[in-house]
Chain A
């Protein structure tokens, strides 16, 4: 029950096994175990400083855990570099988007496919431009001149350029207007529909659970709840855990 009932697919895309992560002497994550199935959309909820972002950073390899393992499709990648993990199918839409402001929109997208050099990227460009026609129009514009919503599109398009199997998203709706937040979640659902496994970190619990298959709730670095989205939405536990009361 710890992981809730994973959705229909049995193949495990990502598995965190009892991950403990420290920043210096401070423990940020404690014994966190999380799973994402192939093509599954999982959301990671929690308040400020609950360890959501650190979880994503540990998965991608920007932060190394003190103990525990990160398995990507059964392969232990705990001690692998970020570039290796990206090459094996991870991609991230980072918190605050982190687009390369002095580079053009097109260059940002090309960098998303950095490890796929020499490959034919036409299909990826087509896919990204279908989801975000705006990026096509603005190809030669510097990323720093885009609006916040457009930068969010660029960050997502950039991540998709690597043709990920596992897409990590860190607070994709932060700083967006309510209308854009809704649009953003629609797009996440669309990406999910194409078979990409997604782990999305969100503050906006209701919105995230409305599109996710399952959810985990983190509180001060520990998983305190894990269940199917529908159950989480219906339970009082979520409110209690989430609000920390």
Chain B
């Protein structure tokens, strides 16, 4: 098992803030909008350096999405910022008609996704957003795993023509992606080559997958670990190549098992190469209040769950 280390834990949203600030200095077409969560989204640096290109919309997310769509007409590249819940479900029809169907070059940047939002509870913990967004034709869907990957993704999506949903989170998590790693939309990242089971993880579950891989190695199991940061378009080639070798797969995500990464992988496998699959995800449930660690433990989104799922799926081969 390849060894992964990190210097410190840091939140993915800070990676977004850093990436956006860099874009502010390098790309004058980039504009940013925020619905009263500038500090939470780490957009202050961009705002302070580019006040004329920053739009505070107030607590009015529907209007924010429409403003963003309109700003593209005239050549701007708008980045919207609010929590994942308010970036998707609250404004689904605005995104659907004014952004996706209209083919507008808007980057919908969503923080505090999933259970790890923590104590605020289920009203704010969206576990359905990947499904909502991947169903929109033409929408690119990205869920990053650490600070460096989020920063790189933020910069990369500015160069991509078309609507993008970029999902990240609140808590400090290990920052293990090399700072110079190029972010390629739609391209899987091979974290560890193995032969017994494929573990495909996205977002905060990627570090858990690495830890699971170490635990499995101690038990003599060789896990291939793939980081899928782009859920749509999905890197089907990487997935099929790996499963052809291992014969089974575990998917891991901080999202409902309905509509998430796991279902996209299952569709790929059932179409091209049927293979046993286990899902580490929430099971059609809302979240609740608690610390991020308590919640991930209670809802089975951790390395122990991935290890158990790996052993289970291997037995089904």
Do A and B form a real pair?
no
A contacts, CB < 8 Å to B:
none
Give the interface of B toward A (CB within 8 A): none
